[in-house]
Chain A
Amino acid sequence: MKKLITVVAGIGFLVGAASANVASDQKDLIGYFKALQPNVEFADYTNGVYAYDAGSRDQFEEILDGIPPYEEAVEKGGKEFVKYGLNKCAALKDPAAARVKHPYFDNATQKVVTLEAVLKACYLKQTGKKLGSKKGKIARISAWISDQAAGEKVNVKVEGAAANAAYTQGKAFFYGKRGEFNMSCADCHVYNAGKKARADILSPMLGHATHVPMYRAKWAGLGTMQRRYGGCLKNMRAKPISAQSELMNNLEYFHQAMSNGLEITDARYRK
Chain B
Amino acid sequence: MKKILITALSVFALTAQAGFMGASHDWNNGSSNPFKSAIKAAETGYKANLAVNMAWRDTAKMIKAAKKLNAAGKTAAAVKLANEAHHQTVKATAQLDASLTADLRL
| Residues in A lying within 8 Å of B, measured CB to CB | 28-29, 32, 168, 171-172, 175-180, 182, 190, 233-234, 237-241, 247
Contact = CB atoms under 8 A, between A and B. Distances in A.
Nearest to A236: B57
B88 interface: yes
Contacts, number: 50
Interface stretch (B13-21, B29-37, B74-82, B98-106): B98-106
12 contacts: A172-B102, A172-B104, A175-B99, A178-B92, A179-B57, A180-B88, A182-B95, A238-B54, A238-B55, A239-B57, A241-B53, A247-B53
Interface residues of B, number: 19
B50 interface: yes
A172 B101 CA distance: 10
Contacts of B88: 180
Given A177-B95, A247-B53, A237 B58 contact: yes
A172 B99 contact: yes
Interface in B80-95: 88, 91-92, 95
Nearest to A180: B56
A250 to B, nearest CB: 11
Contact of B105 (A28, A178, A180): A28
